[in-house]
Amino acid sequence: MSPFQALNLPNGQTIGNRIAKAAMEENLADGQQAPSQGLIRLYQAWADGEAGLLLTGNVMIDRRAMTGPGGVALEDQQHLERFRQWAQAGRAKGAHFWVQLNHPGRQTMANLGQQALAPSAVAMDLGQFSKMFAEPRPMSEEDIVEVIRRFANSAWLAEQAGFSGVQIHAAHGYLLSQFLSPLSNRRDDRWGGALENRARLLLAVVKAVRERVSPGFCVSVKLNSADFQRGGFDADDARQVIEWLNELPIDLLELSGGSYESPAMQGEVRDGRTLAREAYFIDMARDLAGVARMPVMVTGGIRRLPVVQQVLDSGVAMAGIATALALEPALPRLWRAGQAAHPQLPPIRWKRKPLASLATMAMVRFQMQRLSRGRAPKPTVRPWLALLLDQLYLARRTRQYRRAMAG
């Protein structure tokens, strides 16, 4: 099938083509964790690029639980007008625009000053960088019920704001992913132990969200095809979870992989192996797509139209593109016009893998910040400079967040 062929979803909605702008954490909220004018301008650029689907970066269900400073939170109607402006910008050219809902769990930065919640008291293991993350407290039954309620409430608010769907983030080592993994979930109650119990929270969240929104509002899930950690959530686990998700009204399943401890979503795994430069997860996705009854999307390193075609030919319904769209927001439009654009960042080959991972994210955020100011991306930025500027920016946003929370 062509990358520019429409995709019909189970709930009757139609996405105009098979190319999605995948989620990237923008850190461009205003001082009250609402969408800033710069964030809205960034999505105007992506809307002009004519991807069929735009996914936001992390939108948090609880402003006390942020993946980073400068993040957006959607808890109540206080800033709903700003969210409406954001939704209008993203949908201006006819794309679907979905909010990615998330909770960080133990992947909470210590300097934000908040208590990290997690399935179990298992701290992050990043060697000398472990202290960057808050010590997690095991969640009580009341905490879990509250998280389910918050996911459903934030989805309802997203629909009120004019977004066309939500994506429930259960990948990359965030809270729902932590419940799925036996490495981070060591509970002995109904939320832990066997995979059926570890998947209970994700399934409960999906059901609660679906019950709170209208039938025409899209509900999707982002799931790891594997965590790429020995003894963690693997492809067999993913296959079983997909079979359970098949029984729920889900409109799209995105497959990715990895976590902060093993950043496979950036092409690297915990033991230092480098994954394929493009379409990291296509082999696993091809196998898992055969199990899924809903359309499947795969994300991870895609930057060329022939690779998009390869993804679609494998039986996957949609290709998600992230970094390449930060470098060239008009990429789908250029491809449709016959241009063979393939933007990419130079690989960072630093020996300290966590530092290289931070630098990679910094280089991507550098491009998004330029776009948010109406400027062209600059792929040639030096990694050390992007990392320095990013750390200074995040330090300032961290101080701002802590002042706001103290107030």
- CATH number for 160: 3.20.20.70
Mean of per-residue pLDDT scores for the chain? 91
- Does the pLDDT of residue 317 top 80, yes or no? yes
pLDDT given for residue 267 in this prediction: 43
**Burial (Cβ within 10 Å: 0-12, 13-18, ≥19) of residue 140:** exposed
Residues 305, 308, 309, 312, Cα dihedral to 10°: -160
CA atoms within 13 A on the CB side of 264: 25
| CB neighbour list of residue 156: distance below 8 Å, 6 or more residues apart | 212, 213
C-alpha dihedral sign at 92, 170, 63, 356? negative
Q: Which of residues 274 and 181 earns the better pLDDT score?
A: 181
pLDDT given for residue 316 in this prediction: 94
Strand partners, 197: none
Q: How far is CA 345 from CA 14, 323, 380, in A?
A: 32, 8, 8
Place of tokens 């990694």: 383
In a domain, 356, yes or no: no
What letter would DSSP give residue 295? -
- SS3 label, residue 114: coil
pLDDT digits (tens, 9 = 90+) for 129-151: 788 899 999 999 999 999 999 99
- Residue 121 near residue 134, CB atoms below 8 Å: no
Longest CA pairwise span in the chain (Å):
56
Per the structure, the complete domain to which residue 214 belongs is given by 7-347
In a domain, 390, yes or no: no
In a domain, 367, yes or no: no
In a domain, 87, yes or no: yes
pLDDT digits (tens, 9 = 90+) for 77-98: 999 999 999 999 999 999 999 9
For 42, the enclosing helix (H) or strand (E) is helix 37-48
- Does the pLDDT of residue 384 top 70, yes or no? yes
In a domain, 400, yes or no: no
pTM, two decimal places: 0.93
The least confident of 57-66, 123-132, 378-387 is: 123-132
In a domain, 249, yes or no: yes
pLDDT given for residue 239 in this prediction: 92
Q: How far is CA 326 from CA 187, 265, 314, 321, in A?
A: 39, 16, 26, 9
User: Apex CA 207: angle with CA 99 and CA 317, to 5°?
Assistant: 55
In a domain, 301, yes or no: yes
Contacts 24+ apart (CB under 8 A), 381-388: 383/348, 383/350, 383/359, 384/359, 386/359, 386/362, 387/355, 387/358, 387/359, 387/362, 387/363
- SS3 label, residue 50: coil
In a domain, 384, yes or no: no
Pairing status of strand 252-256 against strand 218-224: parallel
- Does the pLDDT of residue 383 top 70, yes or no? yes
Q: Which of residues 350 and 217 earns the better pLDDT score?
A: 217
The count of structural domains within the chain is: 1
Confidence band of 274 (pLDDT split at 50, 70, 90): very low
Query: Phi/psi zone of residue 124: left (φ > 0), alpha (ψ -120 to 50 degrees), beta?
Result: beta
